[in-house]
């Protein structure tokens, strides 16, 4: 969680606590009800603003995460492809050496047959 997100969450918690407190105070002090209602309205507006700010921040983070995952998937794909290419080259080299060995053995057998008159 980044610093701005943490601060925003703290502000939301403080705001919620204050909202409850001011609501309770407004009920206790009926004579100052109008000012408490105004304060409550301002807090509701602030709460709505903070919620919207939070929503926008969450969208931004989701987009960043999506982009990071795309990059990671591409790197993984490239790594796997590279590994497969390397394995294929190793296999081709092994087959080439095996063919060379077989050809060498054929010549050896042919020469020994010739030497022993077989």
Read off the pTM: 0.48
Contacts of 43 (CB under 8 A, 6+ apart): 15, 18, 19, 22
- Tell the residue number behind the tokens 């509701």, with chain if given: 44
Could you give the C-alpha distances from 106 to 59, 93, 100, 112, 115, in angstroms and in order? 70, 20, 10, 10, 14
Domain spans in the chain, listed from the N-terminal domain onward: 3-85
Contact 67, 56 (CB under 8 A): no
Residue 24 confidence (pLDDT) above 80: no
* DSSP per residue, the chain: --HHHHHHHHHHHHHHHHHHHHHHHHHH-GGGHHHHHHHHHHHHHHHHHHHHHHHHHHHHHHHHHHHHHHHHHHHHHHHHHHHHHHHHHHHHHHHHHHHHHHHHHHHHHHHHHHHTT-
What mean pLDDT is predicted for residues 37-62? 93
Q: Give the pLDDT band of residue 23 (cuts 50, 70, 90).
A: confident
């Amino acid at each position: 969680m980044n610093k701005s997100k943490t601060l925003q969450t703290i502000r939301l918690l403080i705001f919620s606590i204050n909202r409850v407190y001011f609501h309770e105070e407004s009920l206790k002090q009926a004579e100052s009800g109008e000012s408490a209602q105004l304060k409550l309205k301002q807090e509701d507006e602030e709460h709505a603003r903070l919620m919207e700010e939070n929503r926008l921040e969450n969208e931004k983070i989701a987009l960043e995460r999506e982009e990071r995952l795309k990059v990671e998937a591409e790197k993984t794909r490239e790594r796997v492809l590279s590994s497969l290419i390397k394995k294929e080259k190793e296999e081709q080299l092994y087959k080439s050496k095996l063919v060379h060995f077989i050809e060498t053995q054929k010549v050896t057998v042919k020469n020994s047959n010739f030497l022993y008159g077989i």
